[in-house]
Amino acid sequence: MAFSADPATALDNPILCPLDELDIDPSAPPLEQALTVLKGVYGYDSFRGRQAEAITALLEGKNALAVMPTGMGKSVCFQIPAMIFGGLTLVVSPLVALMEDQVMALKLAGIAADSINSSRSREENVATWRKVASGELTLLYIAPERLMTERMLAALAKLPVKLIAIDEAHCISRWGPSFRPDYEGLTRLSDFFPNAPIAALTATADEATREDIADKLFACNDKGESQGEVIVSGFDRPNIRLGVAQRKDWKKQLLDFTEARRDQSGIVYCLSRRKTEEVTEFLKDNGIRAFAYHAGLDKTVRAAAQARFMREAGVVMVATIAFGMGIDKPDVRYVFHTNLPANMEAYAQEIGRAGRDGAPSEAMMLYGLDDIRMRRSFIDNEGGDLDHQAREHKRLDALLAYCEAPQCRRQALLSYFGEEINACKNCDICLDPPRLTDGTVQAHKLIEVIKATGQSFGAVQMIDILRGLSHEKIKRFGHEKLDCHGSGKATSKEDWRAIIRQMVATGFFKLDIQNHGALKLTEKAAELTTGALRFAYRPDVMGPAELSRPRKAKSNLPELDAGDQDLFEALRQCRTELAREHKVPAYVIFSDKTLHDMALQKPTTRPDFLLIHGVGSSKQRKFADAFIDVIEGWLG
């Protein structure tokens, strides 16, 4: 196959750039081949983060679980191996909108991709299947429930399936906060396609969830160990300013925040459909361009709202958690939670939808005591066994610890995922430190109890021992006989709870989610016991707090002079027209970074255009002439 020479090639007929046209040496090391595809198809010179490790593992025929922050290019990790392998790659995706967006972007990049999904007519799905069966497609996007039917599996077994990619892989784990029963069938994939490596991808998964994903998806060796590489990138998104405030007058707090950012795109998360509608009308009444999105709306209404949000600037999406998974809009400047999210994983994933372009962005959360009661009730009433409920309560405890963190909030967030950083200087606590009370004495008492009980119990038992209680569980384990029994009577139960949450948040303890939330001591706790460190806490975490002032979302690129800035705006207008013509969001044509590079380099020939950051062969052929015309017109 070869690229069409016609730059106006229809989006529905992409032709994949063949490997021989890219000058790939099949005897070259896998990573060298991958870099050639990266440059030729995507227009990038180097991989980001740990993409290269994941790609290399797959090209060597190994299974790989890649845990990478939102915006770090997880899709490239399987798309490049798919092109190098040839044959067919199956991409399992949970959301129709996510499938359609990715397929659209791949087609523009000249990659033969399509999807079979419930939003398409039977005729469209049949036409796509014919392309699959005839070998015309390299990537097929499909939902798990459709893939795991006996009929589909039997049909695919006759085809050269070379790779399977499972997006949003945390959905397969009962340990995770977003378990989806329809994902559970995917555990059988290695039985049907034993020679196809599996790529599992997710943005957020703690250690327990990662282990569960690997155990379920990857075949085991003779020792019972899952065969696959687990590649975990840092979870930090340093461009996002983190903030938490107590909910006082939430409407005023929300309006103050959104009005100060009126020209910016944002997502406002609400706990219920009713509140989503209420917030949307409230913002509209105050002149904010807001749209509601929740599962109770007609799917055409949801699709229209999402299309407006994706393609227009300054639009606010007010939504339940039904919105967001896989959203790839790069210029979301803020995420605002009107209520406490479900847990740390959900929170990390939701705020990760801001600032994917790397420019300054914000995450603000309001929370109150009623949130805590409601979240506890949700966990108790959602079903599942007692162990599952206990795990979810401990996950919620970790989020509360984050909300009450006495020191750098980002340290508390990343510590949950096993990552340590220095104070970030980009959260509300770093920028406006709270008043703290010395709690070193209480911390020593708490550590003594944790040691005396073998680091095998959770916060409730520790507090009861410190306060001198003698109920059945205390007596069963002989804890009333400990020297430290009753040593913390002078401190209230509420303060002990706050101290424990804040010691978890600041890394003195870890919550062992797999062991009923048992408190485990860290090296930092050892330093505290030797006197090398002290501990201070916030005694009044439910007091007043102010919302952060807006940050101007400056570009993270070098500044353009006045003339080049004019050219940049002209290029953006050209991009807008092309996006409208192709019915895609503007960033799918080219990112701002690519337009910025064009404004600096001013290419006037097709070969020069291919040297621009983010321009691959297919987009060069489709779009070079339009942008070159703009540049030549500006040069006069």
pLDDT at res. 544: 40
Domain that holds residue 320: 240-431
The last residue of a domain, from among 431, 463, 486: 431
Residues 228 and 244 in one domain: no
* CA distance readout (Å), 586 to 34, 575, 589, 631: 27, 6, 6, 19
Radius of gyration of the chain, Cα coordinates, nearest whole angstrom = 26
The phi, psi pair for 401, rounded to 5°, reads -60, -40
The residue among 232, 254, 278 that closes a domain is: 232
- What is the domain count for the chain? 4
Compute the distance between CA of residue 536 and CA of residue 443 in angstroms, rounded to an integer.
9
Residue holding tokens 């599942």? 384
Query: What single letter denotes the amino acid at residue 252?
Result: K
The pLDDT assigned to 98 comes to 73
Of 216, 232, 248, the residue at which a domain comes to its end is 232
> Residue 267 domain-assigned?
yes
CATH number where 124 lies: 3.40.50.300
Q: Are residue 405 and residue 447 in the same domain, yes or no? A: no
Q: Is residue 544 included in any domain, yes or no?
A: no
Question: Containing H/E element for 299?
Answer: helix 299-311
3-state SS assignment for residue 256: helix
**Is the model more confident about 127 or about 404?**
127
Q: What is the mean pLDDT of residues 157-161?
A: 94
Residue 636 confidence (pLDDT) above 50: yes
CATH number at residue 579: 1.10.150.80
Are 218 and 260 in the same domain? Answer: no
Torsion of CA 408, 412, 414, 415, to 10 degrees: 130
Instruction: Check pLDDT > 90 for residue 234.
Output: no
Band of residue 15 on the pLDDT scale cut at 50, 70, 90: very low
* Per-residue pLDDT, 541: 58
What is the distance between the alpha carbons of residues 65 and 567, in angstroms, rounded to a whole number? 43
Together in a domain, 352 and 273: yes
Residue 543 has pLDDT above 50, yes or no: no
Concatenated DSSP letters for 566-627? HHHHHHHHHHHHHHHHHTS-HHHH--HHHHHHHHHH---SHHHHTTSTT--HHHHHHHHHHH
Looking at residue 395, its pLDDT comes to: 85
For residue range 335-376, list pLDDT tens digits in order.
999 999 988 888 998 998 999 888 899 999 998 767 877 888
Q: Are residues 321 and 177 in the same domain?
A: no
pLDDT of residue 330: 87
Q: Tell me if 24 is assigned to some domain.
A: no
625 Cβ neighbours under 8 A, 6+ residues apart: 7, 606
| Closest-CA residue to 534 (of 407, 400, 402) | 407
Q: Is residue 359 part of a domain?
A: yes
Helix (H) or strand (E) holding 350: helix 344-351
Tell me whether residue 28 is in a domain: no
Residues 187 and 296 both lie in one domain: no
pLDDT mean across residues, the chain: 86
Same domain, 335 and 383: yes
**Same structural domain for residues 270 and 313?**
yes
Domain assignment present for residue 518? The answer is yes
Residues 389 and 463 in one domain: no
pLDDT at 542: 52
Q: Determine, yes or no, domain membership for 23.
A: no
Question: Same structural domain for residues 427 and 442?
Answer: no
Mean pLDDT of 111-125: 90
State how beta strands 290-293 and 240-246 pair.
unpaired
Shared domain check, 271 and 414:
yes
Lowest mean pLDDT among 171-175, 219-223, 233-237, 357-361: 219-223
Within-domain flag for 108: yes
Per-residue pLDDT at 287: 95
CA 229 – CA 65 distance, rounded (Å): 6
Measured CA to CA in angstroms, residue 69 lies from 127, 179, 353 at distances of: 35, 19, 10
Handedness of CA 422, 425, 428, 431 (dihedral sign): positive
DSSP single-letter state for residue 261:
T
Polymer length in residues for the chain: 636
What pLDDT sits at residue 604? 94
What's the CA gap between 318 and 270, in Å, rounded?
7
Distance of CA 479 to the CA centre of its chain: 43
Q: Residue range 188-204: average pLDDT?
A: 91
> Are residue 104 and residue 191 in the same domain, yes or no?
yes
The CATH number of whichever domain residue 496 belongs to comes to: 1.10.10.10
DSSP letter (8 states) at residue 182? G
- The confidence band for 553, taking pLDDT boundaries of 50, 70 and 90, is very low
